[in-house]
Amino acid sequence: MKDRYEKQRDKLTTDLAKLADRQEKFVALLGNVKIRRYMFMVPFFDSHELVQHASTKAAEYRAKNLPHLDPGFQIVVVDEDAYADTREQVLPRPRPLVEVQEHTQDEVAAWIRANAQAVTTAERKLQGLIQDDPRRLQAIEGLIMQYIKGENALADMRRKFPDNWERTTRYRNHKEQLLIFEYPSTDIGFNSLAKIAKEIENELNEDVPALDNRLRSAIAWASIADWIMRCPLDFPSVAS
């Protein structure tokens, strides 16, 4: 607690110095507007000394009579709980971290040609569930479309938001390890895929709340397609 207080105190002191050092720029920027309250926002604070320090510095800067500061200048220390209502409004509607791009059938066909082994694995698994060849091919193409969309979105997220990408990847690995226990092949059918996808979306919402609905859906179905093509997710054999 002492270490946190000292770092927050020093940060506030350093930032406030800019009010005096750059007063000409502030006056040019603000015109007739004067700063009455300075909100010093921190992740959290647990020391009354920080509030005392803010009060002392506020008095110090009022005494400077800076042209861009109000005579009643105050410093208020806040954390995100000061904006709890706004936080609750914003979190349920996160802005998209990345856009989930649509892809053409030509791109899907090119992926199928380049990944014949993975497609063969998926087809073998789905034979026992979808007897009609055209419908089975349509299902495989649909899964591959979702796979491409989700994996490309993840690659984009890795470049732009590596922390969220890491949390998402850690969750996917954890879920994959539990698949054999949660969904043994004897108990799973094609209709189970939608249930698993919804589970993934809900769990991602808890683990990585920064993901928007469309991105969570793309990642969920990309995960299912990946697990089908790599074998972690299995179905009853044709013979059974």
Residues 83 and 109 in one domain: no
pLDDT band at residue 214, thresholds of 50, 70 and 90?
A: very high
With 50 as the cut, is the pLDDT of residue 239 above it?
A: no
pLDDT computed for residue 87 by the predictor:
72
With 50 as the cut, is the pLDDT of residue 141 above it?
A: yes
pLDDT band at residue 224, thresholds of 50, 70 and 90?
A: very high
Asked if 219 contacts 146 with a C-beta cutoff of 8 angstroms, the reply is: no
The beta-carbon contacts of 142-147 under 8 Å, at least 24 apart in sequence, are 143/221, 143/224, 143/225, 143/228, 144/108, 144/111, 144/112, 144/119, 144/225, 145/103, 145/108, 146/218, 146/221, 146/222, 146/224, 146/225, 147/221, 147/222, 147/225, 147/226, 147/229
A 10 A CB-CB count for 14 gives 9
Rounded Cα distance between 35 and 145, Å, is 54
pLDDT computed for residue 39 by the predictor:
95
Q: How many domains does the chain have?
A: 2
pLDDT computed for residue 192 by the predictor:
83
Residues 59 and 137 in one domain: no
**87/175: higher pLDDT:** 175
Give the length of the chain: 240
**pTM (2 d.p.):** 0.59
Within 8 A by CB and 6+ apart from 164, the residues are 97, 157, 208, 210, 211
Please check whether residue 99 lies inside any domain of the structure: no
Residues 68 and 135 in one domain: no
Asked if 208 contacts 158 with a C-beta cutoff of 8 angstroms, the reply is: no
Residues 138 and 224 in one domain: yes
Residue range(s) defining the domain that contains residue 38? 2-87
pLDDT band at residue 235, thresholds of 50, 70 and 90?
A: confident
**100/96: higher pLDDT:** 100
Q: What is the mean pLDDT of residues 181-210?
A: 85
Please check whether residue 100 lies inside any domain of the structure: no
pLDDT computed for residue 240 by the predictor:
41
Percent of the chain with pLDDT over 70: 95
Residues 76 and 34 in one domain: yes
CB half-sphere exposure, 13, CA atoms < 13 A: 10
Residues 110 and 193 in one domain: yes
Please check whether residue 240 lies inside any domain of the structure: no
Residues 148 and 184 in one domain: yes
pLDDT band at residue 20, thresholds of 50, 70 and 90?
A: very high
Residues 171 and 214 in one domain: yes
Residues 114 and 174 in one domain: yes
Residues 122 and 63 in one domain: no
pLDDT computed for residue 93 by the predictor:
63
Asked if 76 contacts 40 with a C-beta cutoff of 8 angstroms, the reply is: yes
Q: What is the mean pLDDT of residues 101-108?
A: 90
* H-run or E-run covering 138: helix 133-160
pLDDT in tens, 55-83: 999 999 999 999 999 999 999 999 888 88
Percent of the chain with pLDDT over 90: 61
Report the interhelical angle of 192-207 vs 213-230 (nearest 10°).
Answer: 130
